[in-house]
Amino acid sequence: MRDLDGILVVSLEQAVAAPLATSRLADAGARVIKVERPEGDFARGYDHLVHGESAYFVWINRGKESICLDLRQPEDLALLKRMVAQADIFVQNLAPGAAARLGVGADAMTAAHPRLIYVSISGYGENGPYRDQKAYDMLIQGESGLMSVTGTPDGSARVGISVCDIAAGETAYAAMLQSLIARQKTGRGRAIEISLFHTMADWMNVPYLQTRYGEKAPPRLGMRHPTIAPYGAFRCKDGREILLSVQNDREWAAFAQKVLGDASLASDARYARNVARVAHMAEIEAMIAKVVKRYDREEAVALLSEAGIACGRLSTTGDLAAHPQAWHVEVQTPSGPVEMMGRGARFSDASFGGGRVPALGEHSAALRAEFHSRRGRA
């Protein structure tokens, strides 16, 4: 038996955040019914790079059943309501207010089905002056202040993946698991509101607190760190880059002696303490660059590792594909098997869903027949 066997999830979902959350439930054994528009989740068309499938869609839609519903049609809307009446969890990421206008909003559904866990995912939440603003990932990266701490002194940069969507999806997943546990104790469900903006604002608490109470907004420093030195990337003899970090004064003493070849730097007032090193960051980086460029990257990794200094490689996505530490899972798609990176969580019993990615509307006929006249759970 898998962890969430017997849990039925109905998800009126598209894009990234909601599908990511429900894919985690599917991996754990929940039955997830993905409700798509007749034209399909638009994430199916983000690209066609995975045997003709979208990379994002393949990643976060495994293990689901797909049904196409046109909620402008009364019979399809009635079918959705019958499905929700059977569900343990209903997830929707329509524009704020849209679900309520269809008669499947949180108030109506939780009143009709007290055990239902109802999850709304939106850009800015169900209330507030930004409620109706479109909220794509890049926009939330900007509005939340994330871009103010991402980039170089010359300008801000977008985080290269849809980090706000992904964060909101993982937050929703955690909230749903918490609510399932709470329902076991109380017998009642609840409504949960998740927004991309508030999720990322929570993640921004450290720079927020530094700015509000320390009156010091962290600058954009590229790969440097605002309060730790040395910390960053350095080019090796073979043109590849190595990352290194010295976290404390003890490590600095070892670094000075074993890497820089000058033990006196450990007691030099300009470098002996981390605060002083941050103030003299440029000088230290010049010393490191001079040493590192003598070595190919793997030689530099060996040198730093022998000295007990934290280091890593500035990898490409191609490097990741062949990374010796990576682990992979195989997922079936409508166009054949796909190997992808495994989940961040590994379980001792090797529990992993890895179900098939559905074709558009693949299960429509079967689901219409199943829920044709079903009533809600007792």
Task: Identify the sign of the CA torsion 107, 110, 111, 113.
Answer: positive
Catalytic one of 51, 113, 198, 225:
225
Q: What percent of the chain has pLDDT over 90?
A: 87
Between these two residues, 62 and 226, which has the higher pLDDT value? Answer: 62
Which of 86-90, 137-141, 186-190, 354-358 is predicted with the least confidence, judged by mean pLDDT? 354-358
Relative orientation angle of helices 163-186 and 17-27, to the nearest 10 degrees: 50
Residues of the chain with CATH 3.40.50.10540: 8-203+326-370
Name residue, tokens 């800015």. Answer: 124
CA neighbor of 93 nearest in space, from 120, 61, 123, 74: 120
pLDDT at 66 over 90: yes
Average pLDDT on 76-101 reads 96
pLDDT band of 215, cuts 50, 70, 90:
confident
- Does the structure show a pLDDT above 80 at 248? yes
Burial label, 34 (beta-carbon count in 10 A; 0-12, 13-18, 19+)? buried
pLDDT computed for residue 350 by the predictor: 64
Strands 241-245 and 310-313: antiparallel
Whether the predicted pLDDT of 128 surpasses 60: yes
Q: What is the pLDDT of residues 187-214, one digit of tens each?
A: 999 999 999 999 999 999 999 999 999 8
CB atoms within 10 A of CB 89: 26
Q: Which residue has the higher pLDDT, 88 or 2?
A: 88
pLDDT band of residue 351 (cuts 50, 70, 90) is low
The model's pLDDT over 22-49, given as tens digits with 9 standing for 90+, comes to 999 999 999 999 999 999 999 999 999 9
Q: Could you write out the DSSP letters of every residue in 62-90?
A: TTEEEEE--TTSHHHHHHHHHHHHH-SEE
| % of the chain beyond a pLDDT of 70 | 98
Q: What is the location of CATH 3.30.1540.10 in the chain?
A: 231-235+241-313
Q: What is the pLDDT of residue 91?
A: 98
Cis amide prior to 230 (ω within 30 degrees): yes
The confidence score (pLDDT) of residue 60 equals 95
Predicted confidence band at 361 (pLDDT cuts at 50, 70, 90)?
Answer: very high
Please state, rounded to an integer, the average pLDDT across all residues of the chain. Answer: 93
- Beta bridge partner(s), residue 338: 331
48 a catalytic residue: no
**Is the CATH code 3.40.50.10540 the one for domain 8-203+326-370?**
yes
pLDDT beyond 80 at 285: yes
| Sign of the CA dihedral with 300 first, then 301, 307, and 310 last | positive
**Which residue in 238, 159, 267 sits closest to 203, CA to CA?**
159
pLDDT at 112: 96
Interval 1-14 mean pLDDT: 94
d(CA 101, CA 298): 60
Q: Say which CATH class 231-235+241-313 falls into.
A: alpha beta
106 residue type, one letter: A
Can you state the angle between helices 205-214 and 196-203, rounded to 10 degrees? Answer: 60
Does the pLDDT at position 311 exceed 70? yes
pTM assigned to the model: 0.90
